[in-house]
Chain A
Amino acid sequence: MTAPSPPGPEPLPGLNPTPAPTDSSRLPDPGESGPGQRSSAEQVERPHPLTPLVRSWVLVLALAFAFGREALNETLGGGDPFTSPFPPDDFTPRFFGTELSVQWLGLIVPAILLLIVGFGYLSWRATRFVIDDQVLRLESGIIFRKSQRIAFDKVQSIDLLQPFAARLLGLAELRLDLGGGSSERLRYLRRQRAVALRDYLLSRARGAQAEVRVTDETTSLLTDLSLADEVLIRVQPQTLLLAALTSHEFFSILLGGLVSAGVGWYFGFRWGLIFIAIPIISSLIGFVGSRVTGQFNYTLSRRPHGVRISRGLTSLTSQSLPTRRVQAVQLSQSLLWRRLGLYRIDIEVLGLGDLTTAEGSSGTSSILLPAGSIEQVRVALAALWPRADFERIELEPTPLRARWLHPFSQPFLRWGHDEQLVVAQRGWLVRRWMLVPHARIQSVKIVTSPLSRRLRLADLEFHTAGLRINAGASGLDAAVVQSRQDELLRLVHHQPTADLSEPLPAPPDPVLPGTPALGPSPAPASGSVDPYDPATWPGAVVQPVVESSGWDEGRTADFWSGRSEPPSEPGQPGAGS
């Protein structure tokens, strides 16, 4: 509206870096230069012209498919919709209950296509953005115009998303998380331009004055890694496959299928079993497939500005992680994962309202590590909270009488804390550890029920922002719970000045930062990278672990001094209890 559009639509946003004035970029005060002068200086960009196609390609494809199939049917002399109400093919599109002939379809389908394309074109025309050294402004809307100017330092994190169609065309979407659950999307840009803008905005968000520049460093198409990245964790597809096949979700689907099949068999529906088997098998395949493709090439890397996750086979997601805003962490481990020594990490991030917990989807996700060994857990948590050490925390058991309330999980109900973190462990089949920093606790609550009062027990809840991780310790001795609450509150008030997510002043790790052995190789899927070799992880304090496909049973034992061992062996009652 106020911003004059460039003379042409300028379809190559990737190749024109915004000219950043060298000296005036130090002083970003808009009052100095006149408004007219400024608006003429700012460079308005548009998304890539192929954006409408990428946004609606599924619809376009479906319509083209339906039309093509019907036309083919007609020419091959299939069922004629006029003579027989039920054509043999049984594929007659119905609109409001009336059957449509091919002739009508020939008009309607192109009309709909035209509508979609026209709408997409108008929407594309209306979308403009300005990102330079002074202004971050987005404009959109066909009928209701919306112009949004965003303060640079209010951008919490930026994700780079590449859905399948965009990926084929080399385009990418930028999603700016503005906190408070709202996010703005900028789609679609040329990939290189998107990467440059992302890096620029991230450095501006940290208060640095930087220039938008097109980086010549070619980020890998597979993983969005560049030379500046320091790879911390890379999860192999076979690990993902193994983890999906042994996860508790997989077995619950399988169990549901077996139960329904058993019921069917008992009542004599022998042939009906196939109708149970087909959906069960397809959902199992779908589950495993979505997990593997969604988390394919999962890479956790450290960049100059923060931690980043990139993942995905068909659609690539590159997510920058604001470590300061992580509220709580949950480690979980299903029954078979204990044997394999695998863990999963979920995080709770403040303000990310539309996170997806689903593994397969391509949006911003709350998964920090889809499946990994305990060494990888250490590395991931060290990247998140360098100043906290979760393994030093002594976990204390709950009294034995808590069995009455938690008959299966009582041996595993433990909790403890140190100066930085509260850790609560629970779960029988699926073991969970919830890690909450004192600096993120919002309130502490003691809860009792009539039964637990009779047993002289109480639960302690630690409330954090967000709902995904309900952290709390169950079945505590009521005699001490009050003093524990006071102790936690004291720790909430007396936190060290440096937040636990801030990097340590002098990295004591012997591994030089220049020696990440698994650097940003352009072909990351090559066999030279071994995610299980801890010597290749920079910053990891680990003892060398031999090549493991996950079947190393002894590795779980050292997690919190073996007290997290499963009770499945009847001979071992567990060291703690």
Chain B
Amino acid sequence: MSELFQPEAQWQRLPSRYRNARRIRTGLGWLILTIAATVPLWIFLDWRWALALAVVGLGITVWQVIRVNRWVSRFGYAEREADLLITRGLWMRDLTAIPYGRMLAVNVNSGPIDRLLGLAQLELVTASIQSDATIPGLGQSEAAALRDRLIAAGEAQALPL
């Protein structure tokens, strides 16, 4: 079934150092969630319940961190002649195609963890909120270059809104 999401194109993968950034972010997020759920339970109910919840939460955290590797290796994007393809997801998989002519803007964002690792996030804005086209981790120079290529392609093939 995986060939469904791999049409012939020049598929680009995310840089491997993005895995670390995503691991840190995922681990921290789930850890904070676990603590936030455990502490009130400890205070108001019982330490045994809190312990059980903490074990479950830590389990989920570890599982999510392990999953990052597979998620990142499944993510791919491809610049085709007239559109950008993005495929992602482990369970819910999708393949989004955004015509260059429909792009209103291309944003490059970089958070603190990203900046530490020299990464940036590229976000395509169309008139539809559902499009949700984001390439979560790219090298900063690469992100800028891709942004400029996308904008140039969008200007060349602008479609009327």
User: Are A461 and B159 closer than 8 Å at their CB atoms?
Assistant: no
27 example contacts (A-B, Cβ-Cβ < 8 A) are as follows: A350-B127, A441-B102, A442-B102, A443-B98, A444-B97, A445-B94, A445-B130, A446-B94, A448-B4, A449-B92, A453-B1, A453-B93, A456-B1, A461-B130, A463-B128, A464-B128, A466-B128, A467-B129, A478-B1, A478-B4, A482-B7, A486-B7, A489-B82, A489-B83, A492-B99, A492-B159, A495-B159
Q: In whole angstroms, how far apart are the Cα atoms of A447 and B7 in the complex? A: 15
Q: How many pairs of A and B residues are in contact by the CB < 8 Å rule? A: 86
Q: Which chain A positions have C-beta within 8 A of B97?
A: 443-445, 485, 489
Q: Which chain A positions have C-beta within 8 A of B26?
A: none
Q: Which chain A positions have C-beta within 8 A of B98?
A: 442-443
Q: Which chain A positions have C-beta within 8 A of B4?
A: 446, 448, 458, 478, 481-482
**Residues of A contacting B: mostly:** mixed
Q: Which residue of A lies closest to B7 (CB)?
A: A482
Given A458-B4, A499-B160, A445-B95 contact (CB < 8 Å): yes
B131 contacts partner chain A, Cβ-Cβ < 8 Å: yes
User: Are B102 and A443 closer than 8 Å at their CB atoms?
Assistant: yes
A450 contacts partner chain B, Cβ-Cβ < 8 Å: yes
User: Are A443 and B99 closer than 8 Å at their CB atoms?
Assistant: yes
Task: Say which residue of B5, B126, B160, B161 sits within 8 Å of A463 (CB atoms).
Answer: B126
Q: State how many residues of chain A have any CB contact under 8 Å with chain B.
A: 32
Q: How far is the CB of A470 from chain B (nearest CB, A)?
A: 7
Q: Which chain B positions have C-beta within 8 A of A439?
A: 159-160
User: Are B157 and A443 closer than 8 Å at their CB atoms?
Assistant: no
Task: Say which residue of B93, B131, B133 sits within 8 Å of A448 (CB atoms).
Answer: B93
Q: Which residue of B lies closest to A453 (CB)?
A: B1
A465 contacts partner chain B, Cβ-Cβ < 8 Å: yes
Within 8 A of A (CB), among B122-161: 126-131, 133, 157, 159-161
Given contact pairs A489-B82, A495-B159, a sample of 18 additional A-B residue pairs in the complex whose CB atoms are under 8 Å apart: A350-B127, A439-B160, A441-B102, A443-B98, A445-B96, A446-B4, A446-B5, A447-B94, A448-B92, A448-B93, A449-B92, A453-B93, A456-B1, A458-B4, A464-B128, A465-B128, A478-B1, A489-B83
Q: How far is the CB of A7 from chain B (nearest CB, A)?
A: 47
Task: Say which residue of B92, B93, B99, B127 sits within 8 Å of A489 (CB atoms).
Answer: B99
Given A439-B160, A461-B130, A492-B99, A447-B92 contact (CB < 8 Å): yes
Q: Which chain B positions have C-beta within 8 A of A481?
A: 4
Q: Which chain B positions have C-beta within 8 A of A492?
A: 99, 102, 159
Q: State how many residues of chain B have any CB contact under 8 Å with chain A.
A: 28
B101 contacts partner chain A, Cβ-Cβ < 8 Å: yes
Q: How far is the CB of A270 from chain B (nearest CB, A)?
A: 41
Q: In whole angstroms, how far apart are the Cα atoms of A446 and B4 in the complex? A: 9
Q: Which chain A positions have C-beta within 8 A of B95?
A: 445-446, 485
Q: Which chain B positions have C-beta within 8 A of A449?
A: 91-92
A94 contacts partner chain B, Cβ-Cβ < 8 Å: no
Task: Say which residue of B5, B82, B91, B157 sits within 8 Å of A450 (CB atoms).
Answer: B91
Q: In whole angstroms, how far apart are the Cα atoms of A489 and B133 in the complex? A: 16
A493 contacts partner chain B, Cβ-Cβ < 8 Å: yes
Q: How far is the CB of A463 from chain B (nearest CB, A)?
A: 4
Given A489-B82, A489-B99, A493-B99, A443-B131 contact (CB < 8 Å): yes
Q: How far is the CB of B3 from chain A (nearest CB, A)?
A: 9
Q: Which chain B positions have C-beta within 8 A of A464?
A: 127-128
> Digit string of A289-331 for contact with B (CB within 8 Å is 1, else 0)?
0000000000000000000000000000000000000000000
Q: In whole angstroms, how far apart are the Cα atoms of A465 and B126 in the complex? A: 8
Q: Which chain A positions have C-beta within 8 A of B161?
A: 350
Q: Which chain B positions have C-beta within 8 A of A450?
A: 91
Q: Which chain A positions have C-beta within 8 A of B93?
A: 447-448, 453
Q: Which chain A positions have C-beta within 8 A of B1?
A: 448, 453, 456, 478
Q: In whole angstroms, how far apart are the Cα atoms of A461 and B127 in the complex? A: 15
Q: Which residue of B lies closest to A446 (CB)?
A: B95
Closest 7 CB pairs of A and B: A465-B127, A442-B128, A463-B128, A463-B130, A443-B131, A445-B96, A442-B126
Q: Which chain A positions have C-beta within 8 A of B94?
A: 445-448
Q: In whole angstroms, how far apart are the Cα atoms of A298 and B131 in the complex? A: 35
Q: Which residue of A lies closest to B130 (CB)?
A: A463
